C-alpha cells in the first residue's frame, strides 16, 4: 500500500545525543515536511523540501537538521542543540504543481529525552 512510513515509533534520547528520525514515502510526492506536535498543541513546521537536495526552514528549525538525497526520503536529525526535544514528530508529503493537493501524514514518532 502507498503511504508514509516513519520509524521508530518511540525513541529515547540521552542528554547531548543526536538522534535521527526516518521518513520514507512511496506516493511519488514531490514535497515533504516535518512537523512537531507538543501534547495538546497544534502543529509547528520544522523543515520542508520541495525538491531533492533542497530544503527550507520552517517556524522552529533551530536545533534540527534534514537532508533530501532521494525523493522518497526525508530524515530529520534532532541535535543536542535542541533544548526541549521531547515531542511527537510528524512527517508529511504532498504533490506539487497540481491544484489543491492535500498533505498526507505518517503515523508519527515519539521522542523522549531521558
Partner 1 sequence: AQSVTQLDSQVPVFEEAPVELRCNYSSSVSVYLFWYVQYPNQGLQLLLKYLSGSTLVKGINGFEAEFNKSQTSFHLRKPSVHISDTAEYFCAVSATGGQNFVFGPGTRLSVLP
Binding residues vs partner 1 (CB under 8 A): 4, 6, 31, 33, 41-43, 45, 48, 50, 88, 90, 92, 94, 96, 99-100, 102-108, 110
What gap in Å lies between CA 79 and CA 41, rounded to an integer?
22
Half-sphere exposure of 113 (CA within 13 A, CB side): 14
Nearer to partner 1, 85 or 106 (CB): 106
Nearer to partner 1, 22 or 80 (CB): 22
The minimum distance between CB 112 and partner 1, in angstroms, equals: 13
The minimum distance between CB 57 and partner 1, in angstroms, equals: 12
The minimum distance between CB 35 and partner 1, in angstroms, equals: 8
The minimum distance between CB 16 and partner 1, in angstroms, equals: 27
Peptide bond into 21 cis (omega under 30): no
- Is the sign of the CA dihedral 45, 92, 96, 63 positive or negative? positive
- H helices of 24-112, in order, are none
C-alpha cell at 36: 512537531
What gap in Å lies between CA 53 and CA 71, rounded to an integer?
9
Amino acid at each position: 500500500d502507498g503511504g508514509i512510513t516513519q520509524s521508530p515509533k518511540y525513541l529515547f534520547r540521552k542528554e547531548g545525543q543526536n538522534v535521527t528520525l526516518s521518513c520514507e514515502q512511496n506516493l511519488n510526492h514531490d514535497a515533504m515536511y516535518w512537523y512537531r506536535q507538543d501534547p495538546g498543541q497544534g502543529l509547528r513546521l520544522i523543515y520542508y523540501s520541495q525538491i531533492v537536495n533542497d530544503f527550507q526552514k520552517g517556524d522552529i528549525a533551530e536545533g534540527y537538521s534534514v537532508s533530501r538525497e532521494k525523493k522518497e526520503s526525508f530524515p530529520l536529525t534532532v541535535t543536542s542543540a535542541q533544548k526541549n526535544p521531547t515531542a511527537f514528530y510528524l512527517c508529511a508529503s504532498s504533490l506539487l504543481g497540481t491544484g489543491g493537493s492535500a498533505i498526507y501524514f505518517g503515523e508519527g514518532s515519539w521522542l523522549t529525552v531521558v
